[in-house]
Amino acid sequence: MTVVTNNKNEITRLVVGYGSSGLLVDGEDDLDDDLERLRNQQHQQQRQWAEDDDQKQQQLKSFKSKATARIGFSLFVVASVVIMVTTAYSTGYNKGTVAATTATATHHHNQEGIMVLEELVMTTTGSGSRSSSGSDKGSDQNLHVSFDNTDAIVLPIRRKERKGRGCMFCHLNTVPPVVKEELVETMVFVDDDNNSDESVPLTSVEVTPMTFTYNYELHNGQLLFTDPRSELIPNLQFDYAVLGLMSVQNINRETLENVSLDEVYVHHIVFPPLGMLGAEVLTADPLVYPKGYGYHVIAKEKPNIVINAHLLSNKDLKPINGSLPLARKLCNECYYAPGKGSDCTPEVSGTFKCCGDSVSCTSDEESCLCATNSEYNKHETTKYQIQVDMLITRDIDKIKRVDSWTLAAPECHVNLKGEAVFETYKPDSFCYNNTLSTFTGDNSLFHHIELQEDDENPYVKTMVSSVAPSSGLIVLANSHMHTGGVNATLMINGIPLCSTGTIYGTDSNTKTNARNEQNHLIHIESCYHADFYKKGGHRFKAGDIFTMESFYHGGKNDARFIGDGAAGEHKNVMSYFTTNVVFDGDAPYMSKKRTSFSATGNIIHTLGL
């Protein structure tokens, strides 16, 4: 794909930044802010490029062949590149000439499946003159796409880096998960692909317990949101399949006791090989795939386990209007308050920017905290550890690969530029000016529940649908909701497949209530009771409509809550339903040996990238 402009004095940049949702997003440098910096760096860049000329000539041959092979790029990539191209004019570089410059973008995808644009291939196709006023005579400022240019000069374009502390706790997490070889057992099962007429089990694998740990520390009231690109833990150095999630604990590293959600609220923690884990998993039943199925992890693709930990300290919180339950709610649900960072403003109350995921919070310039009774002391922290027990097997070739497909309600109706199409979104919406929609499949990672004045009908329904891109088999499913959630349902073509209810805690004593915390959603039912699971899975067809539907209670008279302000509206809630699927298909991406994917919403544009 080629983007053409008729101004040689342009400096065209494609950048990838880090957005407020904690995921990679496409963005543009502010041209005015960059202009002076670009002028000052041009001569230095010219010298560096001259010194690296030999290396670039070698790269030229490689990228020329790639350019020819990639003429058939999908329209998705074309649109993604076109909307991300921005130009900045340089008055101090090659004055007196104007040329038509052709640029070809190349890209790769990182371990999390996010597209990262790397190079811009440019070539001069014409010449002209420049006026003394700095304007271009006869230059064409319009951009258009060309597919017939394979002669180009490679210019490197560096990825935009996010300001911040990088890996926050790598020094505390230096070893891979512990594999307990002494506890290995043998699992036998019938292989559906084996055509033997014998009725005895035909396949056996060795199953081994594995414990993954994540050490972290929090100041009182701290809002922790780690960068998944840099928060890394060494992975196992061999291929394996995850067969089940047995338990999750959050403990104090010094006392080894379970930590109450009234001390540390587990908003979520995301890491492959598993998806999003919330507070409800601390009491969840084991999540075990049917025999013969598992989540594949390929060592070469996943040398590290990346961590997105969203953990909020409620320790020593200062009551709001005399209410400690209200203070906990406003802290955990990302409400605006002074002290949460300069990026947290009243307009974005309820977004991740008020929950620790902003440049102001991840840099050392500001401390982002919920208000506490005592003054902040940067030298005082409490030491914690998250423990995750799983079952794995090295016999990965005997295990059918399961991929994770999540529906996250509601849907974002935005174009590739992040612009609203039908309704106008407010700044506190996940969909507001959000170019992440491609990577979240047009689904929302969070939403809000407004206060419901009707006490007889205080329930709020949120839903999203997506079309199955292929036929396949659902082997397991589970939902994820936040405080205020009542239930969630997965439907296919309007017919319920599984519904999951919620359980709330009843103990208000922080010293004794771990795993039974008052005012917290502590458990979400599984789909083990569903008929499809008992029958070994549910077959679906390409074109079937998958729908997830959640209900939240938005009224003040919610019997599940105690304390002023605890009930009513809820911000930054989630409505997810994850299906664990074996997709059909003979395309290379489906048939090759690879790590299982975890994708959201309309996944067709991002699979295999």
The tokens of 532 are what? Answer: 């499809």
Q: What local confidence, expressed as pLDDT, does residue 229 receive? A: 87
Helix locations, 333-437, DSSP H: 359-362
Q: Confidence band (pLDDT; 50, 70, 90) for 114?
A: very low
413-429: pLDDT as tens digits: 998 888 999 999 999 99
Q: What local confidence, expressed as pLDDT, does residue 193 receive? A: 60
Ranking 61-70, 148-157, 256-265, 538-547 by mean pLDDT, the lowest is 148-157
Q: What local confidence, expressed as pLDDT, does residue 436 receive? A: 75
Q: What local confidence, expressed as pLDDT, does residue 588 receive? A: 94
Q: Confidence band (pLDDT; 50, 70, 90) for 605?
A: confident
Burial of 220 (0-12, 13-18, 19+ CB in 10 A): buried
DSSP 290-356: PTTEEEEE-TTT-SEEE-EEEEEE-TTBPPBTTBHHHHHHHHHTT---TTS-TT--GGGTTSGGGTT
Question: Could you tell me which residue, 202 or 136, shows the higher pLDDT?
Answer: 202
Q: What local confidence, expressed as pLDDT, does residue 273 receive? A: 67
Asked whether residue 565 carries a pLDDT value surpassing 80, the answer given is: yes
Q: What local confidence, expressed as pLDDT, does residue 48 receive? A: 57
Question: Could you tell me which residue, 76 or 354, shows the higher pLDDT?
Answer: 354
Instruction: Summarize the confidence of residues 108-137 as an average pLDDT.
Output: 39
490-502: pLDDT as tens digits: 999 999 999 999 9
Confidence (pTM): 0.74
Asked whether residue 480 carries a pLDDT value surpassing 70, the answer given is: yes
- The overall average pLDDT reported for the chain is 80
User: Residue 268 and residue 276: Cα distance in Å, rounded?
Assistant: 6
> What residues does each domain of the chain span?
2-156, 163-401, 403-609
Question: Could you tell me which residue, 229 or 150, shows the higher pLDDT?
Answer: 229
Ranking 118-132, 229-243, 364-378, 523-537 by mean pLDDT, the lowest is 118-132
Q: Confidence band (pLDDT; 50, 70, 90) for 604?
A: confident
Q: What local confidence, expressed as pLDDT, does residue 471 receive? A: 98
The tokens of 33 are what? Answer: 């802010």
Three state DSSP letters for 92-120: CCCCCCCCCEEEEEEEEECCCCCEEEEEE
CATH ID of 403-609, from 2.60.120.230, 3.40.190.10, 1.10.540.10, 3.90.380.10: 2.60.120.230
Question: Could you tell me which residue, 145 or 168, shows the higher pLDDT?
Answer: 168
The tokens of 397 are what? Answer: 């070739």
Q: Confidence band (pLDDT; 50, 70, 90) for 539?
A: very high
Q: Confidence band (pLDDT; 50, 70, 90) for 197?
A: low
CB atoms within 10 A of CB 161: 12
Q: What local confidence, expressed as pLDDT, does residue 364 receive? A: 67
Question: Could you tell me which residue, 407 or 285, shows the higher pLDDT?
Answer: 407
Q: What local confidence, expressed as pLDDT, does residue 113 receive? A: 40
Instruction: Summarize the confidence of residues 517-545 as an average pLDDT.
Output: 96
294-309: pLDDT as tens digits: 999 999 999 999 999 9
User: Residue 272 and residue 557: Cα distance in Å, rounded?
Assistant: 39
